[in-house]
């Protein structure tokens, strides 16, 4: 176990300005909090955070990171709380420890191996400070090193698989090669011990010849380069058993068939030297075509820079050669941690050197002050996405701004279609709420429920929008189909023509519809005239020309009547019978599931009943273009009971082009009649005109619009 003064010394060796007091306090605090807890190995638990801190000192990380490593399991595994950490070590350390704790909890809650890519993104999105991720990776590294102490083989395999799926790729993504290699190797040992053994045995068999070969190649490359004035350092390295195994799998090849289980590295002083050395090597050896890669001009996304080429080497064997500067080499090996180190050395050539990491982390804030470079940089990776969990822990990635409706449709179309509500982190929340990173979302379902056309406005994913529209169109078609069937049946019944299945089949064929449903839908939506169907089916019922014209005129009026704007196309609407709104009046729609939208005047008293349900309100207006449309208005009229008074009423209405639809006497006394009068009018101006004309008549005592 590393001793207290040793740890402080290690950090001081590369960072003389480190806060020793803070380090000492963290050491003592963690040791005390973990107390007598034991690891599976039988060691005191405290040895674990201490080793994690040790791994991070190898990466030369700053004092706060080392302190965080010492404290990283205190919140999750001891009595300590976040406020305790804040109080004793300050909020900065508290934030880092809290970040690591959150990642640990996620690890426990998520069924991650099924969704590795999403989980990796999620870990990145959650580790707002890169140091949180570095501590987490070091934590995993130590857990992998001590994995063999865990007795349960299922648990061991699960941890190893997770390491390969999640943590090794993360280490690669932030460019820490050693960490990635060791994680892979440890996991490979656990998961495919046999394969690893046979690769090792094979390598050993090739071993002696290989060692000789490697030295020959190193010597010759060194001589060739220095003769040509390139000052360089050459080393050779066998690839790791895991990367050989992966390559064998990818290429379905045996070890002998793999040409490049050896990689040679030529480390040169400057960037210019990289290309000069490349020229020397290409001039001296035969180049294998198609293998040259310039990762200096175009670095890999994780910032890796190097020249790669393959040549036929000194022993007439294909060898891979990588050429890079010492600095590029350090970045290739240690990634983000190397940058950290440069930062502390106060390296001047920062602008270019750090470009790749800015790209990698998609850092939006411009790092003007170099000292703020990593410390205050949040990982803005995947800022355009949110990651949420199902109750079973499955991770779902959605665009930022997504709502539970998007989540429901992302889960399954049926889940979306039957969704009636959502529980987020166990609480009921509206369907319009914006989801946040890490939310656990449970969709509440109802078998009888269907999507609301208004959901279109509160979802952002294409899938949800498309499915909602599809559903609305489908339902609209069903309504048209049922409506069309009723119309056709009525039309045939009036003419006493029997509408048999055989006749329907004939009609479909004549009108070129592939199904009866298609035929009915066409009648229902007004594209096909039911009378035309009748005449074709039963020529004897064809009416005279006059009748046809009249019918056509009437139909035209009906089909043009789409008087309301602001409704989702295809949604059924009715004019409320309580207030009889008229064109020209301000109106609102109230949606009812399965019943479409009811149109009320803005001042209708019935609206009070819906104040608590703003989601049912629809902003609608009369369509100015539908001048042909007529609406029914109901009037309460009191009229003098005298001869000719009724005739006067009717003639005033007639003179003003208002058609009487219904007339009912509700009260009759010796002197007066009270009437309910339904008239068809064009709009509210038309109605007030009529009312004014009636008021002018001496026989009319009072006249009002009926409000329910």
Rounded to the nearest whole angstrom, what is the least distance from the CB of residue 443 to Mn ion in the complex? Answer: 34
CA distances from 187 to 47, 142, 192, 704 (A): 22, 12, 8, 85
Which stretches does DSSP call E strand in 296-434? 307-312, 318-325, 385-389, 395-399, 419-424, 427-429
- Where is 617: in which H helix or E strand? strand 617-618
Which positions from 681 to 700 touch Mn ion by CB under 5 A, shown as an x/- string? --------------------
Nearest-CA neighbor of 34 among 72, 84, 88? 72
User: Given the complex with Mn ion, which of 139 and 683 has the nearer CB atom?
Assistant: 139
User: Given the complex with Mn ion, which of 73 and 320 has the nearer CB atom?
Assistant: 73
* Bridge partners of residue 659, in order along the sequence: 680
User: Given the complex with Mn ion, which of 139 and 190 has the nearer CB atom?
Assistant: 139
User: Given the complex with Mn ion, which of 139 and 327 has the nearer CB atom?
Assistant: 139
Nearest-Å Rg of the Cα atoms of the chain is 40
| Dihedral sign, Cα of residue 310, residue 314, residue 318, residue 321 | negative
Cα within 13 Å of Cα(17), Cβ side: 3
User: Given the complex with Mn ion, which of 139 and 182 has the nearer CB atom?
Assistant: 139
Point out which span in 132-140, 232-240, 589-597, 683-691 binds Mn ion (CB under 5 A): 132-140
Q: How far apart are CA 302 and CA 116, in angstroms?
A: 19
Rounded to the nearest whole angstrom, what is the least distance from the CB of residue 44 to Mn ion in the complex? Answer: 14
Rounded to the nearest whole angstrom, what is the least distance from the CB of residue 100 to Mn ion in the complex? Answer: 8
Point out which span in 134-142, 345-353, 457-465, 537-545 binds Mn ion (CB under 5 A): 134-142
User: 32 Cβ partners below 8 Å, 6+ apart?
Assistant: none
Rounded to the nearest whole angstrom, what is the least distance from the CB of residue 49 to Mn ion in the complex? Answer: 7
Which positions from 48 to 87 touch Mn ion by CB under 5 A, shown as an x/- string? -------------------------x--------------
194 is catalytic: no
**Cβ atoms of 519 and 499 closer than 8 Å:** no
Rounded to the nearest whole angstrom, what is the least distance from the CB of residue 10 to Mn ion in the complex? Answer: 20
Letter string b/e over residues 190-222, b meaning 16 or more CB atoms within 10 A of that residue's CB: bbbeebbeebeebbeeeeeebeebbeebbebbb
**Cβ atoms of 297 and 304 closer than 8 Å:** no
User: Given the complex with Mn ion, which of 38 and 695 has the nearer CB atom?
Assistant: 38
Supply 97's token pair: 């420890």
Unique residue bearing structure tokens 């030529």 = 266
| CA 531 to mean position of chain CA atoms | 51
Residue nearest to Mn ion (CB): 139
Which residue in the list 77, 350, 456, 674 is annotated as catalytic? 77
- Sort 291 into a burial class: Cβ within 10 Å, 0-12 / 13-18 / 19+: middle
User: Given the complex with Mn ion, which of 73 and 107 has the nearer CB atom?
Assistant: 73
Chain positions 355 to 394 lying near Mn ion, rule: CB under 5 A, are: none
Q: How far apart are CA 386 and CA 577, in angstroms?
A: 46
Nearest-CA neighbor of 170 among 185, 183, 189, 154? 183
DSSP 260: -
76 is catalytic: yes
Rounded to the nearest whole angstrom, what is the least distance from the CB of residue 76 to Mn ion in the complex? Answer: 8
Which residue in the list 15, 19, 20, 76 is annotated as catalytic? 76
Point out which span in 139-147, 224-232, 568-576, 619-627 binds Mn ion (CB under 5 A): 139-147
Q: How far apart are CA 705 and CA 558, in angstroms?
A: 25
**Binds Mn ion by CB under 5 A, chosen from 107, 128, 129, 139:** 139
| CA 257 to mean position of chain CA atoms | 43
Supply 266's token pair: 């030529």
User: Given the complex with Mn ion, which of 142 and 196 has the nearer CB atom?
Assistant: 142
Which positions from 173 to 192 touch Mn ion by CB under 5 A, shown as an x/- string? --------------------
Phi, psi of 579 (to 5 degrees): -120, -10
* Bridge partners of residue 162, in order along the sequence: none
User: Given the complex with Mn ion, which of 46 and 122 has the nearer CB atom?
Assistant: 46
Rounded to the nearest whole angstrom, what is the least distance from the CB of residue 142 to Mn ion in the complex? Answer: 7
Rounded to the nearest whole angstrom, what is the least distance from the CB of residue 249 to Mn ion in the complex? Answer: 32
Rounded to the nearest whole angstrom, what is the least distance from the CB of residue 65 to Mn ion in the complex? Answer: 14
Rounded to the nearest whole angstrom, what is the least distance from the CB of residue 72 to Mn ion in the complex? Answer: 6
State the CB neighbour count (10 A cutoff) for residue 83: 10
Contact call for residue 320 and Mn ion (CB under 5 A): no
User: Given the complex with Mn ion, which of 55 and 367 has the nearer CB atom?
Assistant: 55
Supply 319's token pair: 């060898």
Nearest-CA neighbor of 135 among 99, 174, 110? 99
User: 374 Cβ partners below 8 Å, 6+ apart?
Assistant: 130, 131, 336, 339, 340, 343
| Binding interface with Mn ion (CB under 5 A) | 73, 139
Q: What are the residue numbers of the active site?
A: 76-77
């Amino acid at each position: 176990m590393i001793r207290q003064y040793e740890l402080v010394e290690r950090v001081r060796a590369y960072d003389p300005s480190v806060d020793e007091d803070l380090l000492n306090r963290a050491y003592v605090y963690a040791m005390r909090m973990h107390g007598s807890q034991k690891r599976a190995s039988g060691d005191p638990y405290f040895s674990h955070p201490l080793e994690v801190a040790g791994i991070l000192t190898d990466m030369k990380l700053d004092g706060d990171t080392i302190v965080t490593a010492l404290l990283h399991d205190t919140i999750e595994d001891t009595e300590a709380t976040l406020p305790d950490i804040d109080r004793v070590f300050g909020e900065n350390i508290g934030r880092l420890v809290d970040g690591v704790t959150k990642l640990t909890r996620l690890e426990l809650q998520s069924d991650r191996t099924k969704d590795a890519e999403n989980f990796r993104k999620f870990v990145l999105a959650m580790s707002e400070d890169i140091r949180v991720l570095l501590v987490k990776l070091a934590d995993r590294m130590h857990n992998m090193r001590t994995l063999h102490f865990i007795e349960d083989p299922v648990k061991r395999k699960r941890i190893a698989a997770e390491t390969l799926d999640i943590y090794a790729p993360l280490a690669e993504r932030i460019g820490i090669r050693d960490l990635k290699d060791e994680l892979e190797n440890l996991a490979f040992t656990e998961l495919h011990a046999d394969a690893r053994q046979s690769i090792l045995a094979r390598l050993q068999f090739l071993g002696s010849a290989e060692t000789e070969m490697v030295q020959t190649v190193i010597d010759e490359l060194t001589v060739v380069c220095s003769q040509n004035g390139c000052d360089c350092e050459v080393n050779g390295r066998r690839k790791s058993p895991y990367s050989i195994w992966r390559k064998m799998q990818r290429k379905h090849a045996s070890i002998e068939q793999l040409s490049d289980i050896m990689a040679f590295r030529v480390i040169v002083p400057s960037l210019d030297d990289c290309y000069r050395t490349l020229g020397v090597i290409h001039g001296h050896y035969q180049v294998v075509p198609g293998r040259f890669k310039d990762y200096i001009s175009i670095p890999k996304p994780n910032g890796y820079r190097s020249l790669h080429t393959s040549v036929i080497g000194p022993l007439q064997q294909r060898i891979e050669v990588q050429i890079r500067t010492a600095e590029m080499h350090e970045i290739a090996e240690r990634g983000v941690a190397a940058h950290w180190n440069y930062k502390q050395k106060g390296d001047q050539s920062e602008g270019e050197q750090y470009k790749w990491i800015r790209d990698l982390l998609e850092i939006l804030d411009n790092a003007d002050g170099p000292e703020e470079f990593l410390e205050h940089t949040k990982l803005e990776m995947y800022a355009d996405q949110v990651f949420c969990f199902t109750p079973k822990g499955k991770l779902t990635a959605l665009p930022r701004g997504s709502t539970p409706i998007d989540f429901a449709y992302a889960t399954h179309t049926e889940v979306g279609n039957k969704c009636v509500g959502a529980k987020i982190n166990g609480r009921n929340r509206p369907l319009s709420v914006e989801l946040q990173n890490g939310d656990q979302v449970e969709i509440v379902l109802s078998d009888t429920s269907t999507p609301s056309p208004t959901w279109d406005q509160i979802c952002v994913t294409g899938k949800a929008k498309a499915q909602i529209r599809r559903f609305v169109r489908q339902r609209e078609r069903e309504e048209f189909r049922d409506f069309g069937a009723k119309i056709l049946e009525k039309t045939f019944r009036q003419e006493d023509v029997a509408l048999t299945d055989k006749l329907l089949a004939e009609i479909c064929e004549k009108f070129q519809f592939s199904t009866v449903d298609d035929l009915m839908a066409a009648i229902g939506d007004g594209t096909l005239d039911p009378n035309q169907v009748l005449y074709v089916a039963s020529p004897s019922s064809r009416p005279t020309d006059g009748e046809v014209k009249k019918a056509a005129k009437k139909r035209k009026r009906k089909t043009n009547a789409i008087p309301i704007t602001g409704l989702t196309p295809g949604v059924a609407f009715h004019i409320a019978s309580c207030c009889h709104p008229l064109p020209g009046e301000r109106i609102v729609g109230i949606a009812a599931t399965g019943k479409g939208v009811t149109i009320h005047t803005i001042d209708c008293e019935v609206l009070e009943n819906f104040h608590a349900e703003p989601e049912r309100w629809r902003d609608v207006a009369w369509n100015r273009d539908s001048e042909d449309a007529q609406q029914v208005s109901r009037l309460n009229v009191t009229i003098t009971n005298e001869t000719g008074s009724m005739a006067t009423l009717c003639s005033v209405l007639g003179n003003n082009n208002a058609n009487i639809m219904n007339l009912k006497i509700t009260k009759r006394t010796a002197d007066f009649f009270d009437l309910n009068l339904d008239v068809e009018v064009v709009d509210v101006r038309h109605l007030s005109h009529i009312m004014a004309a009636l008021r002018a008549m001496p026989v009319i005592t009072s006249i009002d619009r009926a409000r329910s």
